[in-house]
A and B are shown apart, each in its own frame.
Chain A
Amino acid sequence: MAVDPTKSRTVLVIHGVQTADDAQLDQHVLIKDLLQSRLGNQPFEFTTELYRYEDINDAAQAKYLRLLQLLQYVPVAGSLAADAFDLVADVVTARSDTSTAAAIRAGFAAKILDIYASQHPCYVVAHSLGSIYAFDVINELIQTSGLFDRNDRTRWPVQGLLTLGSPIGLPMFRGERRWLAPLGAGDAFFRWVNYWDRNDPVVSGAILGSTLDDYRIAENYLTDSPRQGWDIQDKPLDTGKQWLMAHVAYWQHPLVGDGFLDLIMN
């Protein structure tokens, strides 16, 4: 099995924290619209797919959802808190060592390997909490025998990673993820581009959504080891949005579209 670089790219999206259920998710459509708007008339073949896991996730958070339902009986608290509550509950309870998290990762890995079997080059776009799952799964695949030969990109089930509004810098996620799986000796680099809005409270963890400057996030994983094989870039954005609106503004931002096209076309 090997990737055929002449085949069209497949963009696999893994969503982040949500108030919606699986049936209402459409981030693969959003990224498709963004890429097409940046391409203009330039011919480039790609398809987009979405890996959904919110229904699995919500089942694991029953106690918080019950509390959310109670909050909704209080008119002011309910209307203000509903979206933020679901988001916070998703992030805080997203322990990576539960059977739920393992099931989400296994499903995502299976989806990636399905695309690999079809020989289409696969690029992962991960938003918010989805970036944690993407990080874990890609690192697991790199450690899987027979995959990710550094000198043969046709053996890479994922060709590149784009993360948007990732909380990977927060201690609750960064603490136990202390390193990246190295690709070993060779010349090729696995590219990871991490976009973050300077006002995004999920990235900073700041409840007031304070603006951050010069904040290294993904790049903190870079080491001097020539065997690491990762090319990582943090790219700050200013979407012009505040607080939670900044967290969901990536899908329409032209710089994200241009940066992603650079990742998948070059």
Chain B
Amino acid sequence: MRFCRKHRLLLLMLIYSGLGFGVPTVADIKPLRAFFSVDQDHIKLTGVFFDTPAEYGKQCELWVDLSSDAGAYISLRGEYAPKNSVGEGIYFADAEYKLAEVNEQSILLSQTIINGFGNDVATELKISKQNGYWLIDVKTSRTLWWLTDTVIKHCKVAMNG
């Protein structure tokens, strides 16, 4: 009986290990700061969506916050987002993330925030520099139980703001 309870507890711990909004990790954001070539912690740049479902509107914003490991994020925010939303993207403190690619021209980040079986959000964020513009691609897949909803958004932002 005791043996079974122990294993049940272990299983539950595994299943719910992501509860409480993810396990904070130490995010090494130095390469990102170098990529954006900025000294300031906050960047907000406005651009336009392209090849993106019309329901997300026309205007988009790239938000970068590199202020601290705990609060840092890079996100894409559309014109219909609520005022208190930072948009969809990579939230460095919420779960581990992968910096799959980083060079002078582009970065590719991915993150999956798991909240138990059949309940997660997977995000891929790519930012490329091209002819004076940032090109931002965000793919977000939200899964609840047996249903996954994936949305891909593309935004073009002038690098000089």
Question: On chain B, which size bracket covers the interface?
Answer: 35 or more
Which residues on B sit within 8 Å (CB–CB) of A100? 55
Q: Considering only CB atoms, which chain A residue lies closest to B89 in the complex?
A: A176
Assess the A181–B84 pair: CB atoms within 8 A.
Answer: yes
**CB < 8 Å neighbour of A140 from B55, B77, B82, B144:** B82
Which B residues fall within an 8 A CB radius of A?
Answer: 12, 15-16, 18-22, 54-57, 71, 73, 75, 77-78, 80-88, 91, 94, 113-121, 142-149, 151
Assess the B21–A140 pair: CB atoms within 8 A.
Answer: no
Which residues on B sit within 8 Å (CB–CB) of A177? 82, 84-85
Which residues on B sit within 8 Å (CB–CB) of A172? 121, 142, 144
Minimal beta-carbon separation of A181 from chain B (angstroms): 6
How many A residues touch B, CB cutoff 8 Å?
46
What 0/1 pattern do residues 96 to 108 of A give for CB contact below 8 A with B? 1111111001000
Q: Considering only CB atoms, which chain B residue lies closest to A202 in the complex?
A: B144
Q: A169-B21, A170-B115 are in contact. Are A102 and B84 (CB under 8 A)?
A: no
Question: Which one of A18-26, A29-37, A86-94 is at the B interface?
Answer: A86-94
**CB < 8 Å neighbour of A96 from B57, B81, B91, B145:** B81
Which residues on A sit within 8 Å (CB–CB) of B120? 171
Assess the A96–B144 pair: CB atoms within 8 A.
Answer: no
Minimal beta-carbon separation of B54 from chain A (angstroms): 8
Assess the B144–A98 pair: CB atoms within 8 A.
Answer: no
**CB < 8 Å neighbour of B80 from A88, A101, A176, A212:** A101
Q: A171-B22, A220-B21 are in contact. Are A207 and B118 (CB under 8 A)?
A: yes
Assess the B143–A97 pair: CB atoms within 8 A.
Answer: no
Minimal beta-carbon separation of A128 from chain B (angstroms): 13
Minimal beta-carbon separation of A124 from chain B (angstroms): 16
Which residues on A sit within 8 Å (CB–CB) of B114? 171
Assess the B113–A179 pair: CB atoms within 8 A.
Answer: no
Which A residues fall within an 8 A CB radius of B?
Answer: 60, 64, 84-85, 88-89, 91-93, 95-102, 105, 135-137, 139-140, 143, 169-172, 174-181, 204-208, 210, 212, 215-216, 220
Q: Measured between alpha carbons, how far is A179 from B67 in the docked complex, in Å? A: 15
Assess the B88–A97 pair: CB atoms within 8 A.
Answer: yes
Assess the A89–B147 pair: CB atoms within 8 A.
Answer: yes
Which residues on B sit within 8 Å (CB–CB) of A179? 84
Which residues on B sit within 8 Å (CB–CB) of A92? 142-144, 147-149
Q: Measured between alpha carbons, how far is A265 from B82 in the docked complex, in Å? A: 31
